[in-house]
Structure 1
């Protein structure tokens, strides 16, 4: 593992047709690579066109190959690792899956565990485990959108000695949003508790079903925010340099990952 790596969260405008969404993602990834980013995260549902009343699975099947082939090409042409969620079919089920693309190949995938009730109604299945992958000596894991709301899910990745967590999200706009600022603190807390970096990438515009969303992208570390969105309604590329030496030092001192009294947590599996 090198001592430093530049990462990026893409806060892009979504809600257009497939090709327009893919072109916008490519443009912003190019901007991130021009700023030396080596690991880049796109928002959840970034590529899907307006769906309206069509079945999600039908649209996902129509767009899957084009989206994946385009992301593979970008990772090869830009020589960068790209994290992106694409709805994939597995037999009769569909999953909201975070893929990691590197050198034109699919390197790894993490399916969304806590698919929301709305997603389940639309035909998205829930997954049942978290995994990590090593990329150039860096251990990477994924929490797809709502997964980050579950402290025990975040702790699992800490126990797996994850260095960097990718969190692609959709952030819904609310006229009154009482927990907006508190949620920002939550991401720092996740990073502190589990000794890893966390990239949150969210988009602006509208979901495939027409609901307004806002970008609240950020990059968090155990010592605080490294980057934060300037405007939740404006496209932006956030970059930060991750200090991996400092992360190792903090991890060596964090006994909460090693000294847990495991028998006290039996109620978590009820």
Structure 2
């Protein structure tokens, strides 16, 4: 494939609620804004179509992928704007009370170029008593996904995946130049770790990071951090949403800079297998 040229990437920051139709309308308006500003890759956050922590309420109006109207709505948006469109993730029914947290990458002709199901489930007890058990509703994915496109080679991930460095190393060693991290980070964890984790994934892999986020107080009662980011392979923040309000940020992605970073710090090719030895105090060494 010929050398890839620099291009503008956009993160769409949202505050999704309970209505799938309203969320899709809001997303499409922001996608149109990003396209109008010249973006050739437009990425939306995790759970673009619905953000609802009440599974009974969510499953009352959640079909399987073949009947999910927003699939075609976003395909039409990609066609209309002639852009690569990453719908960071959508809730998709896969069983009676089971869903996938599934991302969709659309090509400019509206075809689905790739799907990715979030691998790592957000099952945590936070220090303020906030509890999340994503695995109670969502089935984890089993495949890491790299997508070769005319723009760049993309590695697809979702939100909590960012805490699992081996996934990103796997994507980078498979050629990913841009690591996509659509998210709905809680406000508490976002304030503590959002910037540090995304910059670390960029630096250690010599890759750009594109991280569109949910932000603000949502209808289901949760609060998300916002601060969508685009980070370069040296960890420099190229663009950041100022807070948690819906909007669009843009940054230039030059795939050549990923190659240059990896040549200067060639850690991807120098990683070595190792044995682990545990030494217990008092035993001979």
Using the size of structure 2 for normalisation, the TM-score is 0.83
Q: State how 1:163-174 maps to structure 2 within 5 Å.
A: 163-174=177-188
2:116 counterpart residue number: 110
Shift of 1:214: 3.0
Q: Is contact 2:184-2:214 (8 Å) kept?
A: yes
Of residues 236, 256, 272, the one that matches 1:261 is: 272
Considering only CA atoms, is the larger Rg found in Structure 1 or Structure 2? 2
1:191 counterpart residue number: 202
Q: State how 1:156-235 maps to structure 2 within 5 Å.
A: 156-174=170-188, 180=191, 182-207=193-218, 209-223=220-234, 224-232=236-244, 234-235=245-246
Identify, as 1 or 2, the structure richer in helix.
1
CA–CA distance in structure 2, aligned partners of residues 4 and 266 of structure 1? 46
Gaps of 5+ in 2: 124-132, 279-285
Q: Is contact 2:157-2:179 (8 Å) kept?
A: yes
Tell me the number of residue pairs that the alignment of Structure 1 and Structure 2 aligns: 262
Q: State how 1:1-270 maps to structure 2 within 5 Å.
A: 1-48=3-50, 52=54, 54=56, 56-61=58-63, 65-84=68-87, 85-90=89-94, 94-102=99-107, 103-117=109-123, 118-121=133-136, 123-136=137-150, 138-174=152-188, 180=191, 182-207=193-218, 209-223=220-234, 224-232=236-244, 234-264=245-275
> What do the CA deviations read for 1:72-118 (whole angstroms, capped 9, x no partner)?
11011111111111223446753111110121111101110002232
CA RMSD, 1 decimal = 2.4
CA–CA distance in structure 1, aligned partners of residues 168 and 272 of structure 2? 18
Using the size of structure 1 for normalisation, the TM-score is 0.88
> What do the CA deviations read for 1:36-71 (whole angstroms, capped 9, x no partner)?
101111111122165745264443317861111111
Q: Is contact 1:144-1:169 (8 Å) kept?
A: yes
CA–CA distance in structure 1, aligned partners of residues 101 and 237 of structure 2? 27
> What do the CA deviations read for 1:157-203 (whole angstroms, capped 9, x no partner)?
111110111111112234xx6x7254312211111111111111111
Gaps of 5+ in 1: none
Q: Is contact 2:119-2:141 (8 Å) kept?
A: yes
